[in-house]
Amino acid sequence: MAIKMFRILVINPGSTSTKIGIYENTRSVFDTTIRHSRRELEAFGSILAQKEMRKALVLEALKDGDISLKSLDAIVGRGGMVKPLESGTYTINEKLFEDLRAKGFVQHASALGGIIAYELGKDLAIPAYMVDPVTVDEMMPIAKVTGIKGVERRSIFHALNAKYIAKRFCRENSKEYASCRLIVAHLGGGITVSAHLNGKVVDVSNGLDGEGPLTPERSGALPVSAVIDLCFSGDYTKEELLTLVSSKSGMQMLLGTNDLREAEQRIKSGDKEAELVVGAMAYQVAKEIGAMVAALKSEVNAIIITGGLAHSQYFVSLIERRINKLGKLIIYPGEDELRALTEGVLAVLQKKESAKIYV
């Protein structure tokens, strides 16, 4: 019996790019990356204001690729900051669409994926979906407790790629994700480390809230008293401080670049400051991995490193020398979020899973 073919448009906006792809079931038949300069994006003033520009570029790219919109069966967009959700594939309904656009939620370009998917799906009368947004929350209660009443740690991490890569490792090693104990370190412009216990992510380092390692673009964990001093210095508004911590600090603030390749070239040329900062970033990643080993009670099937920075043998080696006795280390360089989004939707279209409803 022939397997029905579904044609899926995948939209994945990032901080300075919009990646799109066309999949026929799991086969990629078209993909492209649209680059956006920071100067171009900053002119819009907000992420939500970028929507029409990015949407027009998506449509232009599809036209240039001779992709007929009428040939599509479904659209999936990467999801942004919405309320805490269980893992899975969600139909983008009116409520989810409104929350993706809500002022209290929009903090990252990933929200535009779901917004554009919904609008195009509505125009074409086909379903739009979102898969494993950054707010997937499977944290165990003990991991959320802080010492201040009313303040809880939040689960915000690279859920889409982290869970996909964890499942990929299990498939390739004849293991069941639902019975594995894994640590996944996603190393990109933002860095998050997650502990996977029997199919659930029970603890994470929330890079957006200022936890975990410093990154190419984020501050990582900071001394609280120093942050309080900044809040009352009069030098920053609340919004400016949030932006500083989440997208204008880290390596780019310390070295003037968010490109690890450039920093490595400087190290090779004898730049001691670059060596210190990159070394500190790797040191802090290794410490966070160690913390997740404790979260899993020191029983770990594998420690997985993924994301763009995993292409750097130098950077990975700095991490590895500190954690090589903690567990088996597996490297999956880059990310495969287009395929992760596709497979999440395909499971629904093929009726292997049910789409979840956002309420």
Residue 166 · residue 201 · CB < 8 Å: no
pTM of structure: 0.93
Range list of H helices, 65-110: 94-101
Task: Tell me the one-letter amino acid at 192.
Answer: T
Residue 103 · residue 131 · CB < 8 Å: no
Q: What is the pLDDT of residues 211-255, one digit of tens each?
A: 999 999 999 999 999 999 999 999 999 989 998 998 899 999 999
Q: What is the number of other CB atoms lying within 10 angstroms of the CB of residue 347?
A: 16
**Coil vs helix vs strand at 248:** coil
Q: What is the pLDDT of residues 176-223, one digit of tens each?
A: 999 999 999 999 999 999 999 999 999 999 988 889 999 999 999 999
What are the strands, taking DSSP E only, across the chain? 7-13, 17-24, 27-35, 74-77, 89-91, 128-131, 181-187, 191-197, 200-204, 302-307, 329-333, 356-357
Q: Is the dihedral of CA 118, 121, 126, 128 positive or negative?
A: negative
| Cα Rg of the chain, angstroms | 20
Domains and CATH numbers, the chain: 7-137+337-357 (3.30.420.40), 159-333 (3.30.420.40)
Q: Which two tokens stand for residue 134?
A: 């950054």
Is 90 exceeded by the pLDDT of residue 1? no
Predicted confidence at residue 106, as pLDDT, reads 61
- Residue with tokens 């029983």, as numbered in its chain: 299
Edge to edge, the sheet with strand 128-131 lists 27-35, 17-24, 7-13, 74-77, 128-131, 89-91, 356-357
